[in-house]
Structure 1
Amino acid sequence: MLHKTKNTIKTALFILLAAFTMACSNDDDALSEIPSPSEIQTQEDLTSYLQQVLDAKEVAGFAVTLVKNNSVTYSNAFGLKNIEQDEIFSNQTVINIASLSKTYVAAATAKAIEQGYFTLDTPINQLLPVDIVNLKNPEAIITVKHLVTHTSGIIDDANTYITTNYFVLPNQDMSTPGADILVNQLGLSITNPVPLEEYLAEYFVEDGELYGEANFIDVVPGSTWSYSNVATSLMGFVIESATEIDFATYVQSNIIKPLQMNNTTFNVLEVDFAQTAVPYLDRNTPLPFYGNHGYPEGSIHTTNNDLSNYLLDMVKGIKGQSNTLFPNEYYQLLFTEQLEDNITPDFFADNHGIYWYKKNNNWSHGGNSLGVSSHIQIEADGSYGFSIIANVDATFSDNTPKWEEVLQLVTQGIQEYIQNS
């Protein structure tokens, strides 16, 4: 049964909008520092251009992968994983990809559907050990589909989400300004992760310290879109409850291992931090390594090499040319529009698949967490796809425009290369 943790609840100072990674900067002056990508013809041209992006934007490091014609046609890394130690960011550098992790929850959902554990229309209370009740609409029936399209009526409480979910790992250097920001300003605890069940019990069991109306909005499920990290963590536990397999283990066995992603994990305790990119608030402010108790929503650690395997499989799958993870109909399920028109807000997307969202004829997902950012994008026809992972912060408002500019510039360079090559 779900039961509650004893952690003290503190007030968060801000909320991570981890999926709102859209290349939306229109600041021509900011972009004018970078040469036009119109002359990109070769991989060497693309490498030179991306290095100029890194230098001009003064960010720590990033890695880029491009898939075209059913193969990885470009994979390269730039900058530093650790500025203080002058350690390069490579294709083997481990990094937290934040909310891009939600696309792995999507793949796990499709796998569990294929295995017959539930359907998109299954009410989640048929699968969970305790009933989830929307306190603002107690008669609401929440289904799997509602969780995976952010239309369940479950929301993140901005006052508690950061301090109750995120934590600094033990044995970090706590004398740095970055550590002070996370622990003394944001109120993060220094601890190891609690079981997913315990974390969620705080929200959804009556005697949980976070139980209350602030976790919900008064809507009919399926009618209103509201991005929710907590609801995604709950989807991980739905899978765990239905399959009777720990969620991280289920993903490792059914998604990560078949794709030969040998340096990828949801379990922060398995991460080799000696090989991991330091998260940076800015180039002068490294942050300590951290985790989140609600790990399904944003805690995959991977490398550019591993992510290229995943990206390649998704590109093949969207075209009906892969059965590595499951039969093709389940790849198609990932990328099938699930919502009626005008439910997903225009600024975010045109529609939703299973966590993946569709905008401007491509399927995408982004991620931002403390000191790291990521993005993955696939053309709807499967003609190409690309990803970028970076130890660049976009969670603090002063840093968001810089990441948006980097993402926009990288996207422009890749699209120009695709067009000319």
Structure 2
Amino acid sequence: MRALLSFLFIVMGVYSLQSQQQTDSITKELKRIQESSNLVGFAVAIVNKDGIVYSKGFGYSNKEQLIPYTTKTVQPIASISKTLLGVALMKAQELGILDLDDKINDHLPFTIQNPFYPNEPITIRQLASHTSSILDTEHYEKIYIFNDSIPPFYENLPQKTKQEVQKEVDLLNGNQMMSASQFIKNQYCTDGKWYTSNGFSNTVPGSSYKYSNMGANIAAYIIAQASGMEYTEFLRKHILKPLQMNDSGWVSKTHHLENVSTLYWYGHPIPTYEFITYGDGGFMTNIEDFSKYMTAVMKGYQGESNILKASSYKEMLSQPASKEFKKNVFWTIDDEKIGHSGNDPGIISHAYFLREGSHGIIVFVNTSEVENDMISVRDIYRTLLKYM
């Protein structure tokens, strides 16, 4: 027995040493990427179904004040927010307040129909698989509402990009807050002030894939209508509170979060911003909180009930109906991984787990539109993948 215990202690000691050496190697490689890149700050995590295996922050959450980016730093995660929308839809279906195969007009206080196929109903499931035929229009950019005007940082940009960026900044600075329902109606109802047939593809609803941010926003609005509560409150009740994601939520002029990162767009700090509607983006979190969520979903994928029933996870994370369709209930599902990525002004984000279900990777970056930004993020992701 003593010999066995001695052997086990030796094995455990070797394993601990190897684990620490691996952690040091990951940190060293990621630090080298950060120092050689134009990324101001980022944090990463490797997770499994039991929690965080590795996590660390690099660079700065505020470069001007030399505030480091840590695993507790909060930032928006852009379109990864859609994964929470997918979970919310499944929870709403579990509660019996909607069914994914319901027609959207059964839940909307106004009518949306494809003008090319007016007799073909659009369903919630089609919204969630990006096959609804609803397209993002030129007015989608009006969704960003900055708390302060974006300064004219474009004056310092190269001439070839200066004019284009100035045009975008002027557009964003002119955006005005409105209700989610009005924003949707303006684009997709025949009496909306921005309505044109260009808001729809000339394809039968359900027949072809086209990524649609506004399809997600309509789905979130349907949850609000069906549940009788704000979409953000529905998520807080059914996802954030059960998972104790206490440092996550949505920032606004009336609601603040701690440890929020400054965002850097084209290398320059920009004011905080919120969204008119939160289905497609706007969710704010940190590596530690989001790891709790990722772990819960990975457990669900392996057949464990938690914030959703195991059967709901199975439906949400199963292979899309067609290989041409890249999403199922707002989750990206391919031959190797399940998750989502995101990109907004000052934001690049990735969160995926392997389909074998063993490990996942999370990367949150507070910088976008700088030289080689996507290459640097790719290198971060590949480094984490190598050590998984």
TM-score, with structure 2 as normaliser: 0.87
The Cα of 1:101 is off from its aligned counterpart by 0.3
The Cα of 1:273 is off from its aligned counterpart by 6.3
SS of the equivalent of 2:89 reads helix
Aligned residues: 362
The answer to whether 1:146 aligns with 2:126 is yes
1:412 aligned residue (376, 382, 386): 382
- What amino acid does structure 1 have at the position aligned with 2:43? A
1:272 aligned residue (248, 253, 256): 256
- Where do 1:6-17 residues align within 5 Å? none
Q: Which residue of 2 aligns with 1:166?
A: 144
Q: Decide whether aligned partners of structure 1 residues 96 and 316 sit closer, same or farther in structure 2, where only a CA change above 3 A counts.
A: same
- What amino acid does structure 2 have at the position aligned with 1:382? G
Q: Which residue of 2 aligns with 1:123?
A: 103
Q: Are 2:187 and 2:196, in contact at CA under 8 Å, matched by a contact in 1?
A: yes
Q: Are 1:66 and 1:74, in contact at CA under 8 Å, matched by a contact in 2?
A: yes
As a proportion of its length, which structure holds more helix?
A: 2
- Where do 1:264-343 residues align within 5 Å? 264-269=248-253, 272=256, 275-283=259-267, 285-321=268-304, 323-341=305-323, 343=324
Q: Which residue of 2 aligns with 1:19?
A: none
Q: Which residue of 2 aligns with 1:65?
A: 45
Residues 23-48 of structure 1: per-residue CA shift (max 9 Å, x gap): xxxxxxxxxxxxxxxxx961111011
The Cα of 1:54 is off from its aligned counterpart by 0.8
Gaps of 5+ in 2: 1-19, 156-161
- What amino acid does structure 2 have at the position aligned with 1:166? Y
Give the whole-Å Cα distance in 1 for the aligned partners of 2:174 and 2:257. Answer: 16
The Cα of 1:192 is off from its aligned counterpart by 6.9
% same residue: 26
Q: Are 1:320 and 1:328, in contact at CA under 8 Å, matched by a contact in 2?
A: yes
Q: Which residue of 1 aligns with 2:246?
A: 262
The Cα of 1:178 is off from its aligned counterpart by 6.4
The answer to whether 1:371 aligns with 2:346 is yes
SS of the equivalent of 1:407 reads helix
Give the whole-Å Cα distance in 1 for the aligned partners of 2:31 and 2:198. Answer: 45
Q: Which residue of 2 aligns with 1:155?
A: 135
The Cα of 1:175 is off from its aligned counterpart by 4.3
Tell me which structure has the larger Cα radius of gyration: 2
The Cα of 1:267 is off from its aligned counterpart by 4.8
SS of the equivalent of 2:315 reads helix
SS of the equivalent of 2:90 reads helix
Q: Decide whether aligned partners of structure 1 residues 384 and 270 sit closer, same or farther in structure 2, where only a CA change above 3 A counts.
A: farther
TM-score, with structure 1 as normaliser: 0.81
The Cα of 1:134 is off from its aligned counterpart by 1.1
The answer to whether 1:87 aligns with 2:99 is no
The Cα of 1:185 is off from its aligned counterpart by 3.6
Give the whole-Å Cα distance in 2 for the aligned partners of 1:182 and 1:288. Answer: 16
Q: Which residue of 1 aligns with 2:5?
A: none
Gaps of 5+ in 1: 1-39, 345-350
Q: Are 2:51 and 2:291, in contact at CA under 8 Å, matched by a contact in 1?
A: no
Give the whole-Å Cα distance in 2 for the aligned partners of 1:357 and 1:265. Answer: 22
Q: Are 1:268 and 1:299, in contact at CA under 8 Å, matched by a contact in 2?
A: no
Q: Which residue of 1 aligns with 2:12?
A: none
- What amino acid does structure 1 have at the position aligned with 2:265? L
Q: Decide whether aligned partners of structure 1 residues 69 and 106 sit closer, same or farther in structure 2, where only a CA change above 3 A counts.
A: closer
